[in-house]
Amino acid sequence: MKTGYKSSKYFTPPKSFGNNSKSKLSPSDLRYEFWTKVFNLLTSGLTIVVVVVFATFVFYSKDLPDPTRLSAKGNESGTKIVDRNDKPIFELYGDKNRVLIKLEDVSPNVLHATLSAEDAEFFIHSGFSVRGMARAVKIH
């Protein structure tokens, strides 16, 4: 059978060139070829997804604040002037008079009141409520 291609020193067509070489493959060879194509397709798709996610991250990360500024605590509490025995003499504060306390020092009643005002079912769903998320999407 003539294929239209001539053999040369640079190109020699395979013997099955122009023939239906698929019909001559064994079933195991066909399975191997199928799974090779599936693997190549999945690998290509995964590569594209990774590149798109990375490009999206790089695009949006330029607008993010500096993480060191986020972790730095501002001094929004008042200034205390103390005597040599560390006894407060005078306190200065501007618009905000905040005193930092530990969570253990907060009354359980205040904690429960805050949670019930914000999310009455907090202890049922452990912080993620599908119904609450749907309600937020509906409102906004």
Instruction: Check residue 126 and report its DSSP letter.
Output: T
CA-CA-CA-CA torsion sign (59, 64, 68, 71) = negative
CB 15 within 8 A of CB 24: no
Asked if residue 82 has pLDDT above 60, the reply is yes
CB 22 within 8 A of CB 31: no
Asked if residue 118 has pLDDT above 80, the reply is no
Asked if residue 140 has pLDDT above 60, the reply is yes
Q: What is the pLDDT of residue 80?
A: 79
Average pLDDT over residues 45-62: 94
Tens-place pLDDT, residues 20-36:
555 577 888 888 989 99
Query: Among 41-55, 62-76, 91-105, where is mean pLDDT lowest?
Result: 62-76
CB 82 within 8 A of CB 88: yes
